[in-house]
Chain A
Amino acid sequence: MTHPSYILEATYLIASCLFVMGLKSLSHPDTARRGMIMAAAGMLAALLGTLFHPDIHNYLWIAVGLVVGSSIGIPMAMVPMTAMPQRTALSHAFGALAASLVGIAEYVIHGNSMGGVKMGALGLEVMLGSLTVTGSLIAAAKLQEFMRGTPIQFKGQHFVNLAIGLGMVTCFVLWVMDPGAANANIYFFTLVGLSFLFGVMLVIPIGAADMPVVMSLLNSYAGLSSAATGFVLGNNVLIIAGTLDGFSGFILSILMCKAMNRSITNVLFGGFGAVVGTDTGGVGGTMREVTVDDVAVQLAYANQVVFVPGYGMATAQAQHACRELGNLLEERGVAVKYAIHPVAGRMPGHMNVLLAEANVPYSSLWEMDQINPEMPQTDVAVVIGANDVVNPDARDNPKSLIAGMPIIEVDKAKSVVVLKRGKGKGFSGLENPLFFKSVTGMLYGDAKSSLVNLAQAVQKV
């Protein structure tokens, strides 16, 4: 090892430690910011250290990449919070693209002189990386509504996917087993192509409401492909950072699946939301419509009000209006809480970020398990653009498509107000018996204007 390499390795070691400390600081909102600044410092150290790498002789392409990358990356950090899910999906795509490009470049440079281990790692890196690139782009397109959010399914889909999967494995095995073969290049680039295709096929049958799971899985794949890059280059900081990312995504996808009481297989291949659930029988009845003034009186004289936001709050951009109303109520001495279901919205933690943006202090944001015991003492539960996460069928009807999914039990509150755009069904196409219960009042209209009207009415009470 030459002298500069020791310095380089030292910067990598420091960076690894700072990354771990940064993630550890995310265990509490008060320490999180400082921790992430440390992690960013670690990244800067690794970047500067690498610029002195003994193999680097030409800085032109590096400079171009750094400048272009920053000038795309900085604007991407300025997107509105409602666009977080699609922005995050795009960044999974870029992360995975970087990893697979490194893999492809390594193969172009070293060809078949790499040896089995390195080729195995490189193959995995390129496979995971490529499928994450296209998968994330499809997810971003669905979230940005460039594409329909409903699942795209066709006959024999599973067989097509299986065939592509087997094709990938075959190319991979043929390529690793006989790197000297005349067809090695063909195997490798077919593997890359099939992986791109597989990413598309993996995400098109998944509905928009299942995006929290898909986002987490893609996060995991992007991380693992970075970790595989570390194996290819024999670089520990890459392995550490990639593995942390990979496991973070993996843990999140497990948590999201639990919050829907479904398996990953079911999410990926179930095509949820495509088939309209068979009517769960006899829920019908009449929905009771309420007026803004009625609700305003109810809210103004309540002891405790719980807001339950869903994706509808994000689409209506209603988080600020919600906070305004909450503020007015708090000034009147009403206890105001915000109940967040783990899969509300389109990515893990989506609702928390939106409400924090609207100036809701984090101590008012309650997790599902904390808020459910409080429901019986709650005078009014206000459901804003949420549907399946408050559907009592999940708890009461074992035949329901969402049976067993944990819900926020708003129906146990003394009264419920549902802010809803129209009388239609929710994303999953399921009937929601909550809307027909006697405690429930329906307030139709755009969530944002309903909340603004409610705030005005509360001021007059």
Chain B
Amino acid sequence: MIHVLFHPAVTLAALFVAGGEAGKTALDPAVVISSLYVFALAAFLGYQVISRVPPLLHTPLMSATNAISGISLIGSLVIAGSTYEHHQTLASLLGCAAVTSAMINVTGGFLITDRMLKMFRKKETVKAEEKK
């Protein structure tokens, strides 16, 4: 039953619980609430959009979403490039490693998705190519 802990709905609930601790927060509660709205709406949108992807394209879907979630790159960039009062070296190194990992997914993910999608061809296209 351990896996239940990692169910998206539970994750969401846990964030709400954590949100209940907002008394001593450093984040503005308004920001947290609007973030939850964004999360919930993105979840519905994701469900709608991704349900329509045919099984034919499930492998490219997985590599595409992987590339897109490489967006954590932008968080990594800020960490790697900022100056801090304490722990400068450690923070920069962690940031640099994060930029590297995210960049691997961004470049590799988009390139391989395109490479795969190029292979899914119409019958007419395949026939025309084979005649050449």
Contact = CB atoms under 8 A, between A and B. Distances in A.
A414 interface: no
Given A43-B106, A69-B104, 10 more contacts: A29-B57, A33-B114, A50-B74, A65-B80, A72-B104, A120-B21, A124-B11, A241-B68, A361-B125, A367-B55
A241 B55 contact: no
A116 B15 CA distance: 10
Interface of B: 1-3, 5-6, 8, 11, 14-15, 17-19, 21-27, 29, 31-32, 35, 38-39, 42-43, 45-47, 49-84, 86-87, 90-123, 125-126, 129-130
Chain A interface size range: 35 or more
Contacts of A105: 79, 90-91, 94-95, 98
B98 A102 contact: yes
B26 A226 contact: no
A55 B2 contact: no
B103 A69 contact: yes
Interface stretch (A92-100, A147-155, A285-293, A432-440): A92-100
Contacts of A56: 77-78, 81-82
B107 A176 contact: no
Contact of A98 (B14, B43, B76, B90): B76
Contacts of B15: 120-121, 124, 228, 231
Given A61-B80, A95-B72, A238-B74, A108 B91 contact: yes
A205 interface: no
B90 A108 contact: yes
Contact of B59 (A58, A99, A249, A353): A353
A219 B22 contact: no
A62 B69 CA distance: 19
B72 A238 contact: yes
B103 A57 contact: no
Contacts of A124: 11, 14-15, 18
Given A68-B100, A105-B79, A120-B18, A27 B53 contact: yes
A362 B65 contact: no
Nearest to B82: A55
B79 A102 contact: yes
B72 A23 contact: no
A378 interface: no
Contact of B117 (A29, A55, A230, A235): A29
A113 B86 CA distance: 14
A230 B43 CA distance: 14
A247 B8 CA distance: 8
A65 B103 contact: yes
A348 to B, nearest CB: 4
B18 A106 contact: no
Contacts of A62: 77, 80-81, 96, 99
A274 B56 CA distance: 30
Interface string A73-115: 1101101010010011001101101110110111011100111
A188 to B, nearest CB: 14
A53 B57 contact: no
A357 B29 CA distance: 50
A33 B61 CA distance: 11
Contact of B64 (A36, A47, A360): A36
A185 B89 CA distance: 18
Contacts of B70: 43, 95, 98
Contacts of A219: 62, 65-66
A104 B94 contact: yes
Contact of B116 (A66, A108, A114, A356): A356
Interface stretch (A14-22, A138-146, A275-283, A303-311): A14-22
B132 to A, nearest CB: 13
A7 interface: no
Contact of A248 (B61, B76, B92, B112): B61
Given A61-B99, A88-B63, A73 B106 contact: yes
24 contacts: A32-B57, A32-B60, A43-B68, A50-B73, A55-B82, A58-B82, A65-B80, A74-B107, A76-B112, A87-B112, A95-B72, A105-B98, A115-B27, A117-B21, A118-B27, A229-B72, A238-B71, A238-B72, A242-B72, A252-B61, A349-B60, A352-B58, A359-B126, A362-B56
